[in-house]
Structure 1
Amino acid sequence: MGWIERIKGFILKKSFDFDRPDICLYNFHPQLRILFALKGIFFNKQNSKLKIILPTYFNLLTILGMVFEGMFAHRGLTIKDYSFAIESFLYFIILTSTPLVYLCLFYHKDKIIQLLDDMNEEFKFVCSLGPRHRTPFLKGQLLIWKLCYAWYTLSISTGTAFMMFPVMALVYQTLFVTHTEKTIRPLAFTMWLPNDDPYRTPNYEIFLFFEMNYCVIIVQTFGVYIYTLFHLLLHHYFILDMMILDFEAIFDGLDESVAALPSKHPRRREVQLILNARIKRIVTWHNSVIKTINTLSIVYKPALVFQILLSSIMVCLIGYQIAESLDNGVIDFLFIMLGVCTCMQVWIPCYLGTLLRNKVFAVREACWNCGWHRNSLGTLIRLDILIIIQRTQVPLLIKLSDMSTVELETFSSIMSAAYSYFNMLRNSN
């Protein structure tokens, strides 16, 4: 049981010193730089040639897989094997996400590096403010750490299941199937060749090698994309919490009576400077959140558009394959796990989009309820408060276009469309 305790301690960061003076984003979340480095974004030696090796290999292999899956989908439609065609088209969609995510990252790598550096400065600044800000902020960062491993447990388990299926089936055939029984060596994804048998040696071994690679590529590419997306969004969600804490204490420790003094009186000017500094910090944090959301909307826009538009089709096709297996008396656990991952990968950004939108409204309420209209010092920052209230009335949304945003209403529409497509496919079949 010792290894379970070690894993638990690692996930809960029991050995991490939360009071260390040099705490920053990169030593609290070392996985960030590692995962971006695997995608070809280096933070230290940014011009190193090594950064292109892994992305080049992954993308070339993915493009080859897209060609094969497109060919399989066409074959399925030609022979009217719609189950084979649908499965192949589903894998084609999944593989397409890989070069798209890499394209987004490479084209905007400077923005991503700058975004992470800004987050690091925010991280260090909040941790220097004292327990009132530091404690809830680090609790939020610990939640991000836990969610990172929760997401990777789900995505890696799904990828591992697809990798282990042919291996376990081969073991079963080796141990229990006689030579007189007609068996086909299993693959995780169905295959076809125009003038050859894909299940004979060495075709089978080559395809099995490619399929293992594709499972790793999808987890490493799309899985990392989802994680980095929700990490960046949740980080700034907790920055909005810091703004609420600042509003709650905006008049703390200040002498209310100085409001009656002349505007040029030293005591009043001193209090005015303190209030201006507090308002400036709030506005700086708000601008940082707005900048980050706008940057994410630009950097990941192609991937988000692809994700939102095609998720309904993916959910539909996965549901169709599960239903077809159930009609034949088989429970397809692989596609059930894939379906859960597919729903989660689109639910996460939609949920966080709504969470951020509501949190901005909570900031507006905190601004209004900070007591500025009851405290005589409120006259010193009344215009600032009104401007902040006006700015926070604008929803903070991840935008795909002027008319399309990423929020829970979007997820609901995707699921409704998927169900409609699923019914149409089943009825036509």
Structure 2
Amino acid sequence: MRLQILEDFLLKKTFDFDRPDINLYNFHPQLRILLAVKGVFFTNRRSLLRFIWPCICIQLSIVAMTLEEIFIWRGVTVKDYSFATECFCYWVILGCIPMVYVSIVVNTNKIYDIVVTMNEDFIYVCSLGDRYRKPFLEGQLLIWQLCYAWFIFVCFVGGLYVIIPLVGLLYQSLFATIDENTVRPLQFPMWLPNDDPYRTPNYEIFLVIESTLIFCFVQTFCVYIYTLLHILLHYYTIMNMIIIDFSVIFEGLDESVALLPRHDPRRRETQLILNARIAKIVRWHLSVFKAVSTVSSVYGPPLVYQVSFSSLAICLIAYQIAEKLDNGKVDILFCLLGIAACLQLWIPCHLGTMIRNKAFEVGDAGWTCGWHETPLGLMIRNDILIIILRAQKPVTIKFTGLPSVQLETFSSTMSSAYSYFNMLRQYSK
């Protein structure tokens, strides 16, 4: 029964796909809610309340990163490299919180504008008829499903980080004997100079703080990757609409008018129809370039951080897993964290490759639309050639200090992570 409810939710079986007032906001109600948490308000845009939660998350993450730096120094000083590398791994992960929030708060207006434009696209495409509406809504449904698949996975991993220490604490409280010499579990390793972080009330304070940090990270990174995915996949579907436009650009037009004099009323009427169809393609095509440029400017700094430090984070996670395996233990949390670390980099890189390849397909669609097989092609040949030439420019996510975000970037990062892992293992032996 519960699986059926989940299936109905993911497939939006209760949603009326034929409703006349369909738009981005009622199809994806989660979008504005999640952006509001990030400080992007859609009603009272200038409200100072939007800064409260970002400021709390940024301050908590900076405090936590400072503590992790102390723990790293402690681990290196006593030559406990397992402790030091684990702390450095968490330092890298926590660093993305202020990076994401600062980028979003600084570029709030750009995010607001792109969401409004996406809503206008949504309404317009759904008004064009079933030929456009059906594939477009199928693409939007895929975005909906991927959104919640990502949410479920990230919340599952983050939830385990909270639940497993609590289960361990419950076990110690109910079943552990005095001579077991157990230490109460925390989500992250702790050390304090001249004090014991595991004694009361230190333990309770750190347990609450670390649980809060996990919540901050989950909602920060989860929403960041989701919005990136949503925006890019939206414009991926827009490029599918452009390809459909090219396939029907000469549909319903009389070829014989191309042989008539330029000032003939029938030829001029046909020319206006073709010009309108070309104009729609150009507007959509330019909107894709503008949207990807906006995504690059808004999410460029987090992506630079993500690409730059992912190799280190993945290396350190793999090192911790290997160290535990050497001791005959399997660290489930770090295994899941490793999968999440790979996914968080693979998703934007895969999206970047999809967008780039689909943009080239737009050029191919213009070339194969049949313009050279009909006399009507003479009337818009130059326009189509300009679009084809424009489509040869790769549509990629770029930012200062950042290579094009695509699968080649992911492959390079994973290779670097493997090299770092081998060096670290050799040095620690």
Q: TM-score, normalised by structure 1?
A: 0.98
Aligned to 1:29: 28
Q: Distance in 2 between matches of 1:404 and 1:176?
A: 54
Query: Post-superposition shift, 1:240?
Result: 0.3
Query: Post-superposition shift, 1:237?
Result: 0.3
Query: Post-superposition shift, 1:412?
Result: 0.3
Residues 1:6 and 2:8 aligned together: no
Residues 1:220 and 2:219 aligned together: yes
Q: Distance in 1 between matches of 2:354 and 2:48?
A: 40
Q: Distance in 2 between matches of 1:373 and 1:329?
A: 68
Query: Post-superposition shift, 1:7?
Result: 2.0
Q: Distance in 2 between matches of 1:316 and 1:50?
A: 39
Superposed CA deviations along residues 144-165 of structure 1, whole A, max 9, x for unmatched, are 0000011111111110010111
Structure 1 unmatched ranges of 5 or more: none
AA aligned to 1:205 is: E
Q: Distance in 1 between matches of 2:37 and 2:209?
A: 19
Aligned to 1:253: 252
Superposed CA deviations along residues 121-172 of structure 1, whole A, max 9, x for unmatched, are 0010000000000000000000000000111111111100101111010122
Q: Could you say what the CA RMSD is over the residues aligned between the two structures, in angstroms?
A: 1.0
Counterparts of residues 171-250 of structure 1 (less than 5 Å): 171-250=170-249
Aligned to 2:385: 386
Q: Distance in 1 between matches of 2:401 and 2:252?
A: 44
Residues 1:283 and 2:279 aligned together: no
Query: Post-superposition shift, 1:318?
Result: 0.3
Query: Post-superposition shift, 1:290?
Result: 0.2
Aligned to 2:374: 375
Instruction: Classify 1:190/1:403 alpha carbon distance in 2 versus 1 (closer, same or farther; 3 Å).
Output: closer
The answer (yes or no) to whether the contact 2:312–2:417 under 8 Å persists in 1 is yes
Q: Distance in 1 between matches of 2:163 and 2:362?
A: 48
Counterparts of residues 307-386 of structure 1 (less than 5 Å): 307-386=306-385
The answer (yes or no) to whether the contact 1:115–1:292 under 8 Å persists in 2 is yes
Query: Post-superposition shift, 1:47?
Result: 1.9
Structure 2 unmatched ranges of 5 or more: none
Aligned to 2:15: 16
The answer (yes or no) to whether the contact 1:350–1:411 under 8 Å persists in 2 is yes
Q: Distance in 2 between matches of 1:321 and 1:221?
A: 25
Q: Distance in 2 between matches of 1:40 and 1:282?
A: 34
Matched position secondary structure for 1:399:
coil
The answer (yes or no) to whether the contact 2:165–2:187 under 8 Å persists in 1 is yes
Q: Distance in 2 between matches of 1:217 and 1:253?
A: 56
Query: Post-superposition shift, 1:355?
Result: 0.7
The answer (yes or no) to whether the contact 1:400–1:406 under 8 Å persists in 2 is no
Query: Post-superposition shift, 1:426?
Result: 0.3
Q: Distance in 2 between matches of 1:277 and 1:125?
A: 15
AA aligned to 1:397 is: T
Q: Distance in 1 between matches of 2:326 and 2:392?
A: 52
The answer (yes or no) to whether the contact 2:304–2:402 under 8 Å persists in 1 is no
Q: Distance in 1 between matches of 2:60 and 2:406?
A: 33
Identity, in percent, stands at 57
AA aligned to 2:406 is: E
Aligned to 2:404: 405
Q: Distance in 2 between matches of 1:266 and 1:92?
A: 71
Q: Which moved more, 1:175-184 or 1:366-375?
A: 175-184
Counterparts of residues 62-141 of structure 1 (less than 5 Å): 62-141=61-140
Q: Distance in 2 between matches of 1:403 and 1:187?
A: 36
AA aligned to 2:319 is: Y
Query: Post-superposition shift, 1:49?
Result: 2.7
Query: Post-superposition shift, 1:403?
Result: 7.4
Q: TM-score, normalised by structure 2?
A: 0.98
Q: Distance in 2 between matches of 1:403 and 1:210?
A: 33
Query: Post-superposition shift, 1:188?
Result: 1.1
Instruction: Classify 1:291/1:424 alpha carbon distance in 2 versus 1 (closer, same or farther; 3 Å).
Output: same
Q: Distance in 2 between matches of 1:426 and 1:161?
A: 28
Q: Distance in 2 between matches of 1:403 and 1:72?
A: 30
Query: Post-superposition shift, 1:95?
Result: 0.8
| Pairs aligned (count) | 428
AA aligned to 2:306 is: Q
Query: Post-superposition shift, 1:298?
Result: 0.7
Q: Distance in 2 between matches of 1:233 and 1:47?
A: 27
AA aligned to 1:326 is: L
The answer (yes or no) to whether the contact 1:39–1:55 under 8 Å persists in 2 is yes
Superposed CA deviations along residues 280-322 of structure 1, whole A, max 9, x for unmatched, are 0001000000000111111111101000011001000000000
Matched position secondary structure for 1:197:
coil
AA aligned to 2:187 is: A
Q: Distance in 2 between matches of 1:61 and 1:408?
A: 33
Query: Post-superposition shift, 1:64?
Result: 1.1
Q: Distance in 2 between matches of 1:54 and 1:306?
A: 22
Segments of 4+ in structure 1 off by > 6 A? none
Query: Post-superposition shift, 1:402?
Result: 8.0
Superposed CA deviations along residues 381-401 of structure 1, whole A, max 9, x for unmatched, are 000011011001111111134
